[in-house]
Structure 1
């Protein structure tokens, strides 16, 4: 089953017309029609479409996960990783290049960050990460 079939199936399960779904998503009805016909493979408004169809964007795109509401929600989008450094490393104000990539534990970061970013252990414990 591809995205077109999943969208159509969920729309019909919710007793929505293409026009009603388009209104919920904030697009024109012909956008929904193109999506269900298979002309659109990767819609730009996948999050709004998933909300309107009461499923996850991952389910729409890949068919993974549940199509219905459950007690599991997706976490933040991971954009990069940042190394975890000690108080000593953070207080020494040394260049991040002095910390070898294999010497530092790396943690997923939900915001854009560069190779020069780091996270200190105090921030990790403070935020409960």
Structure 2
């Protein structure tokens, strides 16, 4: 068996242990599904950058793909594994989120759930530039509706006075003697702060993010 075939077998094993299909792994890496299939068959070898991304996506240490085993030292621990799937929903669906709401359907995309997310987490794709300093448009954010926000958290919130049914995405700030506010992260934005009024409802806290390669 060639070294490429050994690496391919380890990619296959890591992908399956992470609960990913070839297409899901390909989407996370910004490559085609046939490219992943060729790696797993040992027909081609992934670049160093792609192999690092495979390790990140599957929760494996990079050394695993070369040796078949993980390494633990006093300085490094194994990365937490991603478990379960998170549905990617629309901002309108996020704005309609209530306790019984549970998005489902064959047309939904699913991504591996980051270790920090609970069982009801969902994904959103960032639109617009109000949070561009940290979240460029196209960034995939993972939101947990079961986490209580604290000052400094980035939250998905729905406010009737700021745009009706769709949810929005801002930083949650509590200043002593002032009360909660919502802040944008684009320093060129005209209005840096929004009032967090009684008609505002926090839908969930952003727990992780993933930037997808532009096609």
Instruction: Report the TM-score when normalising by structure 1.
Output: 0.47
Which structure dedicates a bigger proportion of its chain to strand?
Answer: 2
Relative CO higher for 1 or 2, CA cutoff 8 Å, sep ≥ 6?
1
Which structure dedicates a bigger proportion of its chain to helix?
Answer: 1
